[in-house]
Amino acid sequence: MRDNNSINQPALLYFYWSFILQKLVKANSVKVMLGLMLAYFTAGHAAAQNGSLPNVLAEFKEFSKQAVSEKIFLHLDRPSYVCGDVMWFKVYNVDGTYHHPFDLSKVAYVEVLDADNIPVQQAKVALKNGSGSGSFVLPVSLKSGNYKVRAYTNWMKNFSPNFYFEQPVTVINTFQKLGLKPLDDTAAYAIQFFPEGGSLINGIPAKVAFKATNTKTGKGVGFQGKLIDKAGNEITSFSPTMLGIGNFVFTPSATEEYTAILQYAGGKVTRQKLPAIQGDGYSVQFTESKPGELLITAQATYQQPEQIFLLGHTRQQVTVAATAIMANGKAFFSVQKDSLPAGITHFTVFNGVRKPVSERLYFTRPKQQLEIEATLSNTQFGAREKVIASLSAEVTAGTAVAANLSMAVFRADSLEATDLADIKSYLWLNSDLKGTVENAASYFNLTDPQAEEAFDNLMLTHGWSRFKWDDVLSSEPLKLPHLPEFNGHLIYGKVTHKNTGRPAVGIRTYLSSPSRSIRFYNSISTESGSVLFDVKDFYGTKEVVVQTNFLRDSTYHLQLLSPFSEKYTAVQLPFFNLSETLGNAVSHRHLDVQAQNIYFESYLNRFNAPVTDTIPFYGRPNQQYFQDDYIRFKTMEEVMREYVSGVMVRARRDGFHFRVMNRQHDLFFEDNPLVLLDGVPVFDINKIMGFDPLKIQKLDVMTSNYYTGTMASNGVVSYTTYKGDLAGFQIDTRALLQEYEGLQLQREFYAPIYETEAQRLSRLPDLRNLLYWNSTLHTDKDGKTSVEFFTADLPGTFTVVVQGLTKNGLPGSKTFTFQVKKPL
């Protein structure tokens, strides 16, 4: 007896939380205990007991336990493509707290979106042990422009799309008129101001961070700026320290209006007002009072004593919790910087009535990370020459480590309009910050004290939280409608009344896909009419049949729902401007795609067959009959009566009925069994009895009660045709027949080999832009592995990008280049 083909949502949720706890305890037991230990820091007169502190902590921990976070990182093979290219990607799925490979979700959703957030490519990618891989062929119907590649899991759909992975890429359609233009030197500028703690408060000294960008490119820009009051007096001057980001300090007055005047390169001047000054409120300032000690000063315009609460959490694990009495409008907290975990810590100040009044982010550089080193067999190569790359992985301390890696080798050209994300900066920075972080990897190349200031300015300008405090402190239960796909893909559907369109409640619905590998699923519709099918190992595009028992239920409309998210971020894609200076690079890429499609087409569409369970959902049958082993009768009635001993055929006024032998009690069941043809349920026995038995290859019989989820059957009678395609059997016209795309099949990466002289002298042109792609690299216990590939016919600079992750959540990346010489 199996119970694996239908979804009982309460049971599923119970199983899910058990699964989460087991994973966290198994992988992170020490860290979980440490994360829950609270460091209390108080200054002045701190209260020993306070109702708000334990209440907020309890509610926050309960919220964090339910809203377990996942993060996805996508390693794309290159930053720019032309139509006809194959886009390759590797999926890294980690838990949002410790960045360990996370085996919660078994499916990742990957999409390519245009500027209007319309998907042009979509795929469901199988995940195993927190990783997976896939590909897209970019169709020639796409327009040239910048696109967005995003990835997420079903569980991540419960939260903001700002937490989905997103990466802009450039796609150029070389089969259409490109309309190359002269390079446009004009620029539009914008600046944003971010007061420390959230607001400018009257009379309280404030650090104000700023971020200036070119709105066409999205890149940070330099400028010289000054702050003036409404009388035109200069308050202070300022300029960015890195990528258009910096800060200045001044004391605002509620009676003044402040304007920033900015002069950019080329002489353009803009004016921008600062945010409004609040007459009353709270603020927070971070300073380093002495080396290694972070002094947090909370200030307010209110002079009466008030107990306030400081909570600091790093990726939803509490790291600091403290109370203090605010006297004369000030309270102080002291935190040892070494006590903070690596990454972004969110600090929130709560007033006496548990209201969050000020927030601030602080970044702690990781003390350990995955270091990837690479050695090439040469520094310069000729055409069609073998390249051997030796890779090693170790932690910062110099200890070799096993790591899961992916590697891409592509020709650098001027079409690379965007920076590809790297896994280290994404997990530590981008995934926990709002908006786009320009060249995030560059921050990790800085050294102190420049790094401290750059990271802190970044925290001030990209403040973000994975939740709203209203949700944490609300008395309402947290609503998480999207279940994690920890067994396989979940297919969602809906059952409604045909005449009214209202949800149909409590209707058992069946989903199956005709095949020799019997797959059958059932679900009961909820109050909203939704049904849910857990379809493990569902690969490729298949025809599915969705139906109810039309002998009883004949007035319902059935539909399958898209599992892809319909929520989108507000992040704008970079401005697309295809300059005429790129004409040569575009021509090279066009020839690359044309040559591959002409000469290597047969190699470009090969797929690896997935390893799936071929045993029917009901397991091994009690009785199995291969029709070719018996006399082939002309009617199904003769077949069933002559040698299928486990099934009794009865003819009544309304037609035929089956009675399966109940071997446990040595008697026949009273009601019809579950009857299947190639996995599709057949409720009208007359139809199966009228089917041509010569089309049946085998018959399975289960001679006992059989349970699938909440469905009980008086045995199972399962017919299989020779091809598993129903062999012309007519499905009821009221059923929904639809092609459904399951998990993506794995495309094989192809690259020519030039081991022999004959291969090197081949006259087939090799103009590949992408020389090598490998999504399944692993270093051994000594931290080493090696790969080899061959250069093509194109000379130039080639970029190698390696991304990786260790089992204990250390991310790392490595980028380097080599040269291919022009042939003599």
Residue by residue, DSSP assigns 324-346 as: EEEBTTEEEEEEEGGGSPSEEEE
Of 338, 293, 316, nearest in space to 31 by CA = 316
Q: What are phi and psi of 791, to 5 degrees?
A: -70, 165
- Interior angle at CA 202, CA 198 and CA 205, nearest 5: 70
**Alpha helices (H) along 625-779:** 636-643, 685-689, 757-760
Cβ contact 247:228 at 8 Å? no
| pLDDT given for residue 182 in this prediction | 61
Phi and psi for 312 in degrees, rounded to 5?
A: -120, 130
Q: What's the pLDDT score for residue 577?
A: 76
Structure tokens at 512: 């199956």
Round to whole Å and give the CA distance between 572 and 550: 49
pLDDT at site 179: 67
Bridge partners for 295 per DSSP: 287, 334
Radius of gyration, alpha carbons of the chain: 32
Q: Which among 175, 170, 195, 351 has a CA at the least distance from the CA of 258?
A: 195
Tokens in use for 40? 């209390």
Displacement of CA 638 from its chain's centroid (Å): 55
**Cβ(71)–Cβ(371) under 8 Å?**
no
Mean pLDDT of the chain: 89
d(C-alpha 703, C-alpha 664), whole Å: 8
H-helix or E-strand containing 14? helix 9-36
* The pLDDT value given to residue 180: 62
Q: What backbone torsions phi and psi does residue 689 show, to the nearest 5 degrees? A: -75, -20
Q: Which residues contact 693 (CB under 8 A, 6 or more apart)?
A: 627, 632, 633, 634, 635, 636, 638, 639
Token pair in block for residue 736: 């929904």
User: Quick one: tokens of 757?
Assistant: 């002289």
Residue listed under structure tokens 């969110």: 346
The reported pLDDT for the residue numbered 361 is 95
Among residues 779, 824, 788, the alpha carbon closest in space to that of 806 is found at: 779
pLDDT confidence of residue 336:
94
In DSSP terms, which residues pair with 98 in a beta bridge? none
Spell out, as residue ranges, where the chain has pLDDT lower than 50. Answer: 1-50
Q: Which pLDDT value is given to residue 446? A: 87
In order of their start, the domains of the chain are 623-741 (2.170.130.10)
| Cβ atoms of 460 and 207 closer than 8 Å | yes
Residue 101, pLDDT score: 97
- Surface-to-core class of residue 595, CB atoms within 10 Å of its CB (0-12 exposed, 13-18 middle, 19+ buried): middle
Helix (H), strand (E) at residue 62: helix 52-66
Report pLDDT for 434: 84
DSSP string over 687-730: HHHTS-GGGEEEEEEE-S-EEETTEEES-EEEEEESSSSGGG--
* Cis amide prior to 449 (ω within 30 degrees): yes
Give the pLDDT confidence score for residue 615 in this predicted structure.
86
| Tokens linked to 338 | 């070494």
Amino acid, single-letter form, for residue 360: R
- What is the Cα 9 distance to its own chain's centre? 23
Instruction: Report the alpha-carbon distance of residue 671 to residue 165 in Å, rounded.
Output: 52
Backbone angles phi, psi at 204, to 5 degrees: -105, 120
DSSP sequence for 250-307: E---TT---EEEEEETTS-EEEEEPPPEESS-EEEEEEEEETTEEEEEEEES--S-EE
What per-residue confidence (pLDDT) applies to 184?
57
Residue 439, amino acid: N
Q: Give the ranges where 130-264 is alpha helix by DSSP (H).
A: none
Q: Please, are residues 106 and 487 in contact by the beta-carbon 8 Å criterion?
A: yes
Tell me the C-alpha distance between 356 and 533, whole Å.
42
Q: pTM of the prediction?
A: 0.91
Q: Are 544 and 512 in contact (CB under 8 A)?
A: yes
∠ CA 776-778-779 to the nearest 5 degrees? 160
Question: Which helix or strand (DSSP H or E) is residue 235 part of?
Answer: strand 234-238
Maximum separation of any 2 CA atoms in the chain, in Å: 105
> Alpha carbon of 446 to those of 101, 242, 454: distances in Å?
28, 11, 8
